[in-house]
Structure 1
Amino acid sequence: MTEMTPRQVAAKALSLLDLTNLADDCDAAAIETLCAQAVTPFGHAAAICIWPRFVAQARGTLGPNSAVKIATVVNFPSGDLPVETVVAEARQAIADGADEIDLVIPYKALLAGDEAAVRTMVTAVRDVCAPPVLLKTILETGELKDPGLIRNASHIAISAGSDFIKTSTGKVPVNATLEAADIMLNAIRESGRNVGFKPAGGVRTVGDATLYLNLAATIHGPDWAIPSTFRFGASGLLNDILAMLDGRGHSTSASAY
């Protein structure tokens, strides 16, 4: 396998980026900025990932047939809302124009041994995500901690109909890690299903992105990571990607996501 140059990694990472603003103080102006940032001179991000209340605005800004998808979050970030509330959130977001739903599983219930709660939640939200809407399930691996539990959560989410499994909300002390990524990528391989992977939270540089892409290539092959199978959930990563692509080298970002 030919190793990609940092610039090639940057270009690939841009195409896989869910450019994210889930800040508590996000407002309409920030959404306008995010939509503009998602389209660069070097290509466009895969998606923007935003709070549900901004989906309709983003759809109006990007237009009905934008190459940049709109992802939004439900049951976020706590993971402990009632199923009917989460289903209503998802249904409304899709009606407002969301292309992708990022669902936090009830990970606290799973920690307490309740696997059925996870399966019930994912299945219920899957039922309202009619194709081509994608369902990406957030496992909150930094809270699950135990490798066996992360693997189990991955398999439950996959078997219940997830299109992607995602590490984190970005709202807890430990977010994406290579250790969790390894477990989740292997769970996808073990499942035999065409399911994608999304590390989120803490992926800030092209160097970080390289580590995750190399891991995915090792487990699934060099051509596996494309927008339909791999996303980065990040905000600050875009700064480093653009710095690399326009020849400025690496930038730094204080972003927490």
Structure 2
Amino acid sequence: MNPGETLPEEAGDEGRAGDAAIAAQALACLDLTELSDACDRGMVEALCARARTPHGDVAAVCVWPAYAALARELLAQDRVKVATVVNFPFGGERVDAVAQETRQAVDDGADEIDLVLPYRAFAEGRADAAAKMVHAVRVACGGSALKVILETSMLREPGLIRRAADLALDEGADFVKTSTGKVEGGATADAALAMLAAIRSAKRPVGLKVSGGVRTLADARTFIELAAAAMGETFIRPEQFRIGASGLLTALMSALDGTDADAAPESGY
């Protein structure tokens, strides 16, 4: 055996430790999500119960606005945030209606609002329509955090994604987010890099949320390492980095429990 060579068992132990470290980071930054069309009260109750794990709590649960008050009630004694979605999933332009939806969600106890940018309007060159929406919802949020969903798989081009992220941050977004999870495609490295470039240029601390198709430990690792390389290791904390997923938690728990972290992923957001 050559000096410094690692025994297979030791290599396996190191790999498991590395998996567990990534899983712990991802768990603390996870927005555990239930936005299926079939969602009901029982599913929200189950989601909130899953938010508290033997390895720590997730950052937030993300539910439909109709269930924000229920989630707040169920998590009243916990540090887990309640997030909900507005203008979701189509990214329309009815500013007054979306602002009212936001105010109601905040009244119902939502700590965080995930707003879908009017991405079609933005892609058509009507940036003013997108800016008007973000500004109105920022005002309606009050003290609640605002995450703006760019729907990057529809914008596609990194330059366009960067400009959309710049607009959202200029209008007061606390996070920019990749996807709704409701259209084909989802988070990609290229989209995340374009958004991170906007975050680096912001004149205040702002964050990134990756969502749409993040289902395995390997997926989580990709985005954690990409964000850490761009922004530094201290960026990987719930205040500035989130992963939106429903199917990721099982893989994270497997890694933290020391079982098969590469088991078949759950389907979902």
1:205 shift after superposition: 1.1
Which protein is bigger by CA-based radius of gyration? 2
* Paired position in structure 2 for 1:130: 142
* Paired position in structure 2 for 1:88: 100
* Paired position in structure 1 for 2:224: 213
Q: Which runs of 5+ in 2 are unaligned?
A: 1-14
* Paired position in structure 1 for 2:86: 74
- Tell me the alpha carbon deviations over residues 37-85 of structure 1, each in whole angstroms, 9 at most, x when there is no partner: 000000000000000000111111111x421100000000000140001
> Residue type matched to 1:176 in 2?
A
8 Å CA contact retained: 1:16, 1:46: yes
CA distance in structure 1 between the aligned counterparts of 2:99 and 2:58, rounded to whole angstroms: 27
1:118 shift after superposition: 1.0
CA distance in structure 2 between the aligned counterparts of 1:221 and 1:62, rounded to whole angstroms: 31
Q: Which runs of 5+ in 1 are unaligned?
A: none
> SS in structure 1 opposite 2:211?
coil
> SS in structure 1 opposite 2:32?
strand
The TM-score with structure 2 as length reference comes to 0.92
8 Å CA contact retained: 1:239, 1:252: no
What's the % identity of the aligned pairs? 50
> Residue type matched to 1:112 in 2?
E
> SS in structure 2 opposite 1:223?
helix
1:229 shift after superposition: 0.1
> SS in structure 1 opposite 2:146?
strand
> Residue type matched to 1:55 in 2?
A
* Paired position in structure 2 for 1:179: 190
The TM-score with structure 1 as length reference comes to 0.96
CA distance in structure 2 between the aligned counterparts of 1:214 and 1:253, rounded to whole angstroms: 20
CA distance in structure 1 between the aligned counterparts of 2:109 and 2:266, rounded to whole angstroms: 31
1:129 shift after superposition: 1.4
1:254 shift after superposition: 3.6
Question: Residue 35 of structure 1 is aligned with which of 32, 42, 48?
Answer: 48
Structure 1 residue 247 corresponds to structure 2 residue 258: yes
Structure 1 residue 154 corresponds to structure 2 residue 165: yes
> Residue type matched to 1:13 in 2?
A
Question: Residue 114 of structure 1 is aligned with which of 126, 136, 145?
Answer: 126
CA distance in structure 2 between the aligned counterparts of 1:150 and 1:244, rounded to whole angstroms: 33
- Tell me the alpha carbon deviations over residues 69-121 of structure 1, each in whole angstroms, 9 at most, x when there is no partner: 00000000000140001001100000001000000000010111100011100
Say how many residue pairs are matched.
253
> SS in structure 2 opposite 1:207?
helix
Structure 1 residue 235 corresponds to structure 2 residue 225: no
CA distance in structure 1 between the aligned counterparts of 2:78 and 2:29, rounded to whole angstroms: 16
CA distance in structure 1 between the aligned counterparts of 2:29 and 2:74, rounded to whole angstroms: 21
Question: Residue 22 of structure 1 is aligned with which of 25, 35, 39?
Answer: 35
> Residue type matched to 2:107 in 1?
A
RMSD of Structure 2 on Structure 1 (CA)? 1.2
1:191 shift after superposition: 2.1
> Residue type matched to 1:14 in 2?
L
Question: Residue 112 of structure 2 is aligned with which of 100, 112, 124?
Answer: 100
> Residue type matched to 1:107 in 2?
Y
8 Å CA contact retained: 2:187, 2:211: yes
Structure 1 residue 165 corresponds to structure 2 residue 186: no
CA distance in structure 2 between the aligned counterparts of 1:167 and 1:142, rounded to whole angstroms: 8
CA distance in structure 2 between the aligned counterparts of 1:171 and 1:107, rounded to whole angstroms: 14
Runs of 4+ in 1 over 4 A off after TM superposition: none
> SS in structure 1 opposite 2:241?
coil
